[in-house]
Structures are given as C-alpha cells and as structure tokens.
Amino acid sequence: MSAVAAPSSVSTAPTARGVWRSGRGVLVVALLVLVTALAPVLLSSPGTAGRPLDPADPSLSGGKALAELLTRRGVSVERVESVAAMLAAARPDSQLLIGDTVAMTEDEAREIAASGRDRLIVGNAAHLGVLAPGVLADDDARSRSREPRCSLREAAGAGSAFIGGLSFTAPAGATGCYPADGRPTLVRYSPDGATVTVTGGGAFMTNLRLAEDGNAALALNLAGARPRLIWLAAPEKPGPGAAGPSGTSLGDLIPDAVPWAILQLAVAVVVVALWRGRRLGPVVAERLPVVVRASETVEGRGRLYRARRARDRAAQALRAAAIDRLAPRLGLPPTAAAEEVVAAAAVRTGREAAEVRSALYGPVPADDAALVALAAQLDTLERQVRDS
C-alpha cells in the first residue's frame, strides 16, 4: 500500500515583510501629518520669551526673583510703566531703576535727571548723557564673570559677578568697577547730590543669573540702597483677545500657529481616512443576529471564570440561579428573604436548615473542587424540592 502524504500546513500569519509593505504607507502619511502640524509651531515665535528686567516677570529674563528678595529685605518695590508714574511715586527715600528695555524721550530723560533722585541705570545707553552726565558708553563688552577690582563697598562685598554689555568712560571722581579691557562696566558717582549708578548690562539681575557668583549680593546692594525702589518697566503688550489690563485670557497663552496646525492636522486625518477607506473596500454584510447555542454560552462563561480564577463570581452565579428556580417551587415571591427560602427548603426536603443555608448562602469555595461540590449540592437540593 502506498502511503498517502498528509497535506502540508500553510501558514496564513502575516510575515514581517508583508506587515511592513502594508503599513509603510500609513507610517509615511503619519510622519507627514506630524511634520506638517509641528513645523509652524516650531518655526514660529513661542511668544513666551518674557519681559526682560520686569519685576513682575517670572521668566528667565525677568526680574521677579530680585523684586521678591528686595521685598524680604524690607525694600518697597513699586513697578511703574511710565516716566510720569515714576516721578509721581518718587520721594526723597526713593531710588529710580531704569532698565535697558525702557523707551523714553529725551524730555522724559531730562525730567528724571532734574528730579534729583538717586537712580540706577541698567544697560540703557539711550540718553545716557542726560541721565548720567559725563558717563560715555565706550564699547561693547562680553558678559562674563568678572572681579570688581574697585573700592566700592557694594561691589567689593559682592565679589565676582556676571556683568558686561557695555563699558564706559567714567567722569572725574567716579568709581569704576568690573573692568573689561581697562574700561569699567559699572560706574557710580554723585553729580548734583544724587547718587547715579550705571551698569553695562542687567544679566546679573535676571532670574536666570541671580543665583550665580555674587550676582544676588551685587543686585541687592545696588537696587536696595534706598527704602523704596521705583522700578520702571516696559509696558505689557496686550495680545488679541486680551481679557483686559487686570487679566489674561486663555487665547493669549496659545501661540498663533497652533490653530493653523490643528486645521492642517484635521485635513490630513480626513485625507488619510478617505484613502484607507478606498483601499479596504466596502463593509462585508452579515446576517444578524447570530444564533449561539446555550451550551456554548455556558461553556464560554465557565472558561472565563476558570481563566480568571473567579470562583466567587461563579459560586454567586450558581446560587442566584438556583434560588431563582427554587423560589417559585417553594411558593415564595422573587423578593423573599434568605431565611424564608432556607426555612421553606428545609421543610420541603427534610434537611437541616444550616445545611441548606450553607449551600445557598455559604462562603466562597476555597478551590475548584469545592466549587464542583457546591454545584452538586445545589443540583441535589433542586431535585429534592422538585420531587417532594
């Protein structure tokens, strides 16, 4: 007899190459969607660069940390956004701080100089000849850690500081500190009785640099020389949809490119859905509902209980079904209490009430064997009630 060769089994599982071929198109489209959505956001201005040397700005370039340190030392810090407000708030115990981002006219600079108040000019070369007569901006100086190399108490006590920006030619009698190529980047002198301090840059006063070297000590010594500090900051620029001068709306916090990115992403998703829909073809029609034999349902649920070791749920299901079948045969309503069911079943079968209670309302079986024994007890109890 010739042996009949068994048919070889053919694997229908998709290979790695097949998966790659079928999915690479989707991967390419997903990458294009991601690049299209993120490119405008990455290339656009983030809009959160902060307001340099602003006492209310917590960003890296802001000055909020310095303002809080001054407040803790007992210095009253008042933020103003105009020269008129600064002069109105100034008193004999005040010092004026003018940052490098503040724009003012020459007349406003003359008003500040004529006020006779102490002033700290931070990196502001505009109208420097009016605000600090005799001090000339000499050259740009790279900001780096420098030693004071001077006798000024505020600088000598602070030590090295991250300073630069501009170097100056100081007038006669002025004290120059933190030299760059022989020219000071910090100058202090007293023309007309007012103490004027000029620094080439304000990096040492920012939130980013304040904790480095002796920056905090130098900033506190210079800005905290008087009990009150009137800090002139650039006015905040309200964006579109601003909530008003006292608040900021949610739209202000969203970059301008985000709505466009969302629109492009939505269009790309629609295109991919249409493309994939055509490749997959129409939906396969199937007659519903599908008839499933009750035994298959019971076996499937039993396998699930066994796989999850859910003996508690299995026992609860067996007992609930048994009680539902026993109650009508015992002449009890579906809402009968447990004691009523136990008492009626015990009277009908002649068994002990404790034994019936253990079968219908007892503890959870400890193992699979106990669960099988419980099923047998319930089956016996139902048969005895039915045959009695």
**Confidence (pLDDT) at 28:** 67
Helices (H), 202-286: 215-223, 257-280
Poorest-pLDDT segment among 10-14, 141-145, 162-166, 178-182 = 10-14
Nearest to 223 by CA among 94, 131, 85: 94
Query: CA separation (Å) from 152 to 145, 303, 329?
Result: 18, 87, 106
Poorest-pLDDT segment among 3-17, 32-46, 140-154, 257-271 = 3-17
Each residue of 180-198: pLDDT tens digit? 989 999 999 998 889 999 9
Question: How high does pLDDT run on average in the chain?
Answer: 82
More confident residue, 370 or 34: 370
Name all domains of the chain by residue range, CATH numbers in brackets: 64-232 (3.40.50.880), 311-387 (no CATH)
**Confidence (pLDDT) at 224:** 93
Q: 382 with 326: CB under 8 angstroms?
A: yes
User: What integer is the mean pLDDT of 222-234?
Assistant: 92
Cis peptide before 289 (omega within 30 of 0): yes
Tokens for 54? 């602003």
User: What integer is the mean pLDDT of 120-136?
Assistant: 87
Tokens for 80? 């103003």
User: What integer is the mean pLDDT of 32-58?
Assistant: 65
Whole-number Å distance between alpha carbons of 37 and 253: 18
Each residue of 67-109: pLDDT tens digit? 999 999 999 999 998 999 999 999 999 999 998 767 788 899 9
User: What integer is the mean pLDDT of 102-117?
Assistant: 89
**Confidence (pLDDT) at 45:** 44
For the chain, what is the largest distance between any 2 Cα atoms, rounded to a whole number of angstroms? Answer: 127
Each residue of 282-341: pLDDT tens digit? 667 767 677 778 778 778 888 888 888 888 888 898 999 999 999 999 989 988 899 999
pLDDT at position 281 over 70: no
Q: What is the band of 12 on the pLDDT scale with cuts at 50, 70, 90? A: very low
**Confidence (pLDDT) at 121:** 92
Query: CA separation (Å) from 126 to 87, 101, 367?
Result: 19, 10, 88
**Confidence (pLDDT) at 10:** 40
